[in-house]
């Protein structure tokens, strides 16, 4: 029978015991939409937690597992060979029960019966809302880490997974470009981003798209059609238009339909990139980011930080109150958008 207790036999003695130690045992979970780099983050949390002398528990399937008592003891070997893997070994889930006071009471009881006094939540803004409610109700130190491909969290320049997802988008568009050019086609390519256009803007510039349609800017379809007509008149043989799924004119199918009503200079095709954007091996950037933030979470908790999200701003670790990370929206640097217009003439 596997023991329900964390294994301590291969845990090294921490070399730095100089910090205060306001928390003892620790649980970690991944919640909401998964993102590449979550495993690298789990690895960093487990290794640094053990390094500093804490017992570390993994919770399976996010808040649902917290309520259903799905805890696994994590030792150094449990996170071996995962730094390069997409997804999350702890699984992720959305939990309706955690939205109820009764669900959160069960979650707290499952922590307390194991003497767990700190919880690290790797997820997006929904997961942080839940973490904040929980930390207001119960005496648990809570730390959030930004794990989402959307890059839309206030309090960090980059979220874990954004870089990998954008690289995936660029790789796909490079392939679409070949066939677009071979057949004189106009492609509308939809990427993830219900509320934020970071993937579309950065991916669109990197892949050389003619137009970038994002929720942060007003989409003017008449102007778009004029640009297409001008391009056609100038013998432009093909075109690529990247659309964030949250654009106010609709998704890629809807926009292609509206454009086709007024302009038929090209054969038009639509590609929805969908969930391939979430998967795959994390980029070096996301692995390093996840590793830094995982360690920052443990070190922040040891310094008495709670109800905060650890992020990176100007390459420095910054702790932002979770309620601010959730309440404030990120301000996109629209200079990138201006640049994209110059590049596409």
Task: Report the SS3 class of residue 213.
Answer: strand
Do 257 and 64 form a contact (C-beta atoms < 8 A)? no
Q: Is 45 exposed, middle or buried (0-12, 13-18, 19+ CB in 10 A)?
A: buried
* Residue 102 Cβ vs ligand ADP, minimum distance, rounded to whole Å: 12
Closest CA to 306 of 289, 326, 327, 322: 322
Contact with ligand ADP (CB under 6 A) among 99, 229, 230, 261 = 99
Contact with ligand ADP (CB under 6 A) among 22, 126, 250, 279 = 126
* Residue 274 Cβ vs ligand ADP, minimum distance, rounded to whole Å: 16
Sign of CA dihedral 183, 337, 190, 165: positive
Site residues (CB under 6 A) for ligand ADP, limited to 148-167: 148
Q: Does 258 bind ligand ADP (CB under 6 A)?
A: no
Active-site residue, selected from the candidate residues 34, 75, 150, 152: 150
Do 88 and 102 form a contact (C-beta atoms < 8 A)? no
When the beta carbons of 192 and 255 are compared against ligand ADP, the nearer one is 192
Do 291 and 43 form a contact (C-beta atoms < 8 A)? yes
Contact with ligand ADP (CB under 6 A) among 127, 271, 277, 291 = 127
Alpha carbons 91 and 60: distance in angstroms, whole number: 6
Among the candidate windows 41-49, 126-134, 295-303, 314-322, which touches ligand ADP by CB under 6 A? Answer: 126-134
**Residue 150 known to be catalytic:** yes
Closest CA to 153 of 280, 331, 288: 331
* Residue 166 Cβ vs ligand ADP, minimum distance, rounded to whole Å: 18
Q: Does 31 bind ligand ADP (CB under 6 A)?
A: yes
Both tokens of residue 324? 């601010």
When the beta carbons of 135 and 186 are compared against ligand ADP, the nearer one is 135
Alpha carbons 119 and 29: distance in angstroms, whole number: 8
Contact with ligand ADP (CB under 6 A) among 98, 158, 187, 188 = 98
Closest CA to 17 of 55, 56, 53: 53
Q: How far is CA 238 from the centre of its chain?
A: 32
Rounded to a whole number of angstroms, the distance between the first and last alpha carbons of the chain is 66
Q: Does 106 bind ligand ADP (CB under 6 A)?
A: no
When the beta carbons of 214 and 309 are compared against ligand ADP, the nearer one is 309
Q: Does 144 bind ligand ADP (CB under 6 A)?
A: no
* Residue 63 Cβ vs ligand ADP, minimum distance, rounded to whole Å: 4
When the beta carbons of 93 and 259 are compared against ligand ADP, the nearer one is 93
Both tokens of residue 339? 């640049």
Pairing of strands 239-244, 211-213: parallel
Q: Does 269 bind ligand ADP (CB under 6 A)?
A: no
Contact with ligand ADP (CB under 6 A) among 37, 49, 65, 130 = 130
Q: Does 63 bind ligand ADP (CB under 6 A)?
A: yes
- Catalytic center residues: 150
Binding site for ligand ADP (CB under 6 A): 31-33, 63, 94-95, 98-99, 123-127, 129-130, 133, 148
């Amino acid at each position: 029978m596997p023991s329900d207790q964390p294994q301590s036999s291969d845990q090294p003695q921490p070399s730095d015991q100089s910090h205060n130690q306001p928390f003892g045992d620790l649980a970690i979970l991944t919640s909401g939409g998964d993102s590449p780099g979550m495993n690298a983050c789990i690895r960093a949390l487990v290794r640094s937690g053990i390094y500093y002398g804490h017992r570390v528990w993994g919770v399976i399937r996010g808040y649902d597992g917290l309520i259903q008592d799905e805890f696994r003891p994590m030792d150094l070997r449990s996170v071996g060979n995962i730094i390069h893997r997409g997804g999350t070994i702890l699984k992720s889930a959305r939990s309706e029960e955690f939205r109820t006071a009764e669900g959160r009471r069960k979650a707290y009881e499952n922590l307390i019966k194991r003497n767990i006094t700190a919880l690290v939540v790797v997820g997006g803004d929904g997961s942080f809302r839940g973490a904040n409610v929980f930390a207001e109700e119960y005496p648990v130190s809570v730390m959030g880490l930004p794990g989402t491909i959307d890059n839309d969290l206030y309090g960090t320049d980059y979220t874990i997974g954004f870089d990998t997802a954008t690289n995936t988008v660029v790789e796909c568009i490079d392939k679409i470009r070949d066939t677009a050019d071979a057949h004189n086609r106009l492609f509308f390519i939809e990427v993830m981003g219900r509320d934020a256009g970071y993937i579309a803007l950065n991916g669109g510039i990197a892949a050389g798209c003619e137009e970038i349609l994002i929720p942060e800017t007003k989409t003017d379809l008449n102007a778009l059609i004029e640009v297409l007509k001008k391009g056609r008149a100038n013998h432009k043989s093909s075109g690529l238009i990247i659309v964030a799924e949250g654009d106010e004119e609709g998704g890629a199918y809807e926009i292609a339909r509206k454009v086709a009503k007024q302009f038929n200079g090209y054969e038009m095709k639509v590609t929805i990139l969908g969930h391939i954007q979430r998967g795959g091996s994390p980029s070096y950037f996301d692995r390093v980011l996840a590793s830094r933030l995982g360690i920052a979470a443990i070190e922040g908790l040891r310094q008495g930080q709670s109800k905060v999200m650890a992020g990176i701003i100007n390459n420095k670790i910054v702790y932002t109150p979770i309620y601010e990370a959730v309440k404030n929206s990120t301000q996109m640097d629209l200079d990138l958008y201006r640049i994209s217009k110059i590049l596409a003439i």
